[in-house]
Copies of this chain bind each other. A is one copy, B any other.
Amino acid sequence: MDEIFKRTENQRKDIHNSDIPVVCRACEARHGGMCGVMTPQQLTELSKFTTRKKVNPGSEVVGQGEQVAAYANVLKGVVKLSKMLHDGRQQIVGLQFAPDFLGRPFSRESTISAEAATETEICSIPKAVLDRMVGDSPELEHKLHQQALVELDEARDWMLTLGRKTAQEKVASFLYMIALHYDPESTERTVFDLPLSRADIADFLGLTIETVSRQMTKLRGDGVIQIENNRHVSVPDMERLAEVAGIE
C-alpha cells in the first residue's frame, strides 16, 4: 500500500513544487485520503461545502437503493458497507477505516448501504462539489482511482475467503486482517479491540453468530488468541494465526 501511494506523493511534489498542508480546513482534521493531493486553493474551496458529523453505531449513512447526495471522508471509527437480499439475509462487502474515502464516484444511486459500525465521525462533501473538482484535477482522480483499486484487491481477497475457506479459517482470517490493520508492524504480542459485534462478523464472513462464537471459543481453547470482555483480543503469535487462517 505504501508502494501505491508513493507515485502520488511524487506527482504532487512535481506539480506544485512545494509541500501542501494535508490538514483539511473544513474538518480541521488530517484527512489521510484525498486531501493530501489537493492544492491549498482546492482545500479552501472545498471547506466551504463540507460538514463534520458524528455518527452513532447502527446509524445509516447511505441506504441501499437511495439517491446519493454526498461523499464523505471517514475521520474516526469504522463504517461497514453491506448488501441485503429481499428476505433480510445480509452480507458485509467492505469496511472503511479512517481515513478512507466513502462513496461511489460517478454513480447517482447507491447499490449498497453504509452504516457506522462504531462511534464514527465523517466529513461530508456534497457530490456535485467533489465531482467538479475531480473533473479539474487529475491528481485527485488518480488518488480515487488508487483507492478503488485497493478496495478491488481487498474485495477479491475476501471472495476467496467467502467461497473457499472453512468457518475456522474465515474467523482466523478476519482476526488476522483486523490485527494487521490496527497494529501493522507488531513483532511480539498483537493486541486490539474488535470494531465489530459477533453479528457483524458473521455478516462479514457469511456465517451465523453461533458459528462465529464457537470458532472464537475454539481459537481461544487452542491458545491462538486470548479474549477479554468480548471485544478485546490478544494474539501471542501472528504467524500461528496466519497459519490457521490458511494464509500460509
Residue ranges of A at the interface with B (Cβ–Cβ < 8 Å):
3-4, 7, 11, 81, 83, 85-87, 89-91, 93-94, 104-108, 111-112, 135, 138, 141-142, 144-146, 148-149, 151-153, 155-160, 162-165, 205-206, 246, 248
Contacts and interface: CB of A to CB of B under 8 A. Distances in A.
Contact of A157 (B83, B157, B248): B83
B160 A86 contact: no
Contact of A246 (B85, B105, B141): B85
Contacts of A159: 83, 91, 93, 155, 158-159, 162
24 contacts: A3-B107, A4-B106, A7-B106, A83-B157, A83-B160, A85-B160, A86-B248, A91-B164, A93-B160, A94-B156, A105-B145, A105-B149, A138-B141, A141-B141, A141-B145, A144-B145, A148-B148, A148-B149, A151-B152, A155-B155, A158-B159, A162-B206, A163-B205, A164-B206
A2 B112 CA distance: 20
A64 to B, nearest CB: 11
Top 7 nearest A-B pairs (CB, nearest first) are A163-B206, A155-B155, A145-B145, A93-B156, A162-B162, A138-B138, A91-B163
Most B-side CB within 10 Å, residue of A11, A94, A106, A248: A106
Contacts of A160: 83, 85, 91, 93
B205 A156 contact: no
